[in-house]
Amino acid sequence: MILDFHVHAGQGDGMTGPWDTTAPLAAYARRAREAGISHSILLPVFQSDYVQGNRDVAALVRADPGRWTGFAMVHAVRDRDRVHAMIEEAVLRLGLRGIKVHHHDAPIHRQVCDAAQRWQLPVLYDPGGDVGALSLLAQTHPSVAFVFAHLGSFADDWAAQRRVIDLIERHPNLFADTAGVRRFDLLEEALHRAGPHKLLFGSDGPWLHPGLELAKIRALRPSADAFASIAGGNALRLLRRVSVA
């Protein structure tokens, strides 16, 4: 199975750009199908109320659970006092299987990590290039799998992405997704240094073309086993850990 670990979906209310307004899935689903991608992780777009955003993503998943899996999104500051309640609802009522946090909202903190630990959820964290303290996550919550979006920086911050490669190579519970990574030599370095078990294919759909993003993984010329790990096996392994007890 080829699984896209990083796809945005639903409606936002900011209207400063697509990232906080709307992420329609029709064109993405067609492109993904043509590329051989059979399953995708859906993430809410930026918005003022992630409780509603999480419910909207859950509704999309319920409509086609064979095609989609959903993650809950939280604002690390605005939702600080309700993180545990939000994640409990996300897991028990909505059937969501992970947590998304973005540094654009606020840096990740202990309450988010504690909630992830409680339910054994993977955390997809976009640090926005601010990678200085990321090694602390591995130390304070070693049982939580943290996946750094865009190899640490969508803004093509070469130094930050090199630092993330160091981190995922060193710490067993730190991973990175490949969505929107433009410097191909860094993808090669991440594969060779950290290994295929530390990378997860992601496209940043619907705004980036999933077929083009997947082509970068194929261009790495991984072995069949390595490709299977990056293209879906690693994601499935993280998702199997989710607790609903």
d(CA 30, CA 48): 29
Instruction: Place 245 in a pLDDT band, splitting at 50, 70 and 90.
Output: low
Mean pLDDT of 158-172: 97
CATH number for 8: 3.20.20.140
Mean pLDDT of 17-46: 97
Assess whether pLDDT exceeds 80 at residue 206: yes
State the total domains in the chain.
1
Instruction: Place 42 in a pLDDT band, splitting at 50, 70 and 90.
Output: very high
Is residue 244 domain-resident?
A: no
Q: Using an 8 Å Cβ cutoff, are 124 and 177 in contact?
A: yes
Mean pLDDT of 101-105: 97
pTM metric for this prediction: 0.97
Which tokens go with 202? 């992601």
Residue-level pLDDT at 243:
66
Tokens 């992630």 correspond to 50
Mean pLDDT of 129-136: 92
Q: Using an 8 Å Cβ cutoff, are 116 and 109 in contact?
A: no
Is residue 245 domain-resident?
A: no
Percent of the residues in the chain that have a pLDDT greater than 90, as a whole number: 96
Q: Find how far residue 166's CA is from the centre of its chain.
A: 19
Instruction: Count Cβ neighbours within 10 Å for each residue of 73-99 and write b for 16 or more, e otherwise.
Output: bbbbeebeebbeebbebbbeebebbbb
Is residue 217 domain-resident?
A: yes
Domain housing 170:
3-239
Is residue 227 domain-resident?
A: yes
Residue-level pLDDT at 154:
97
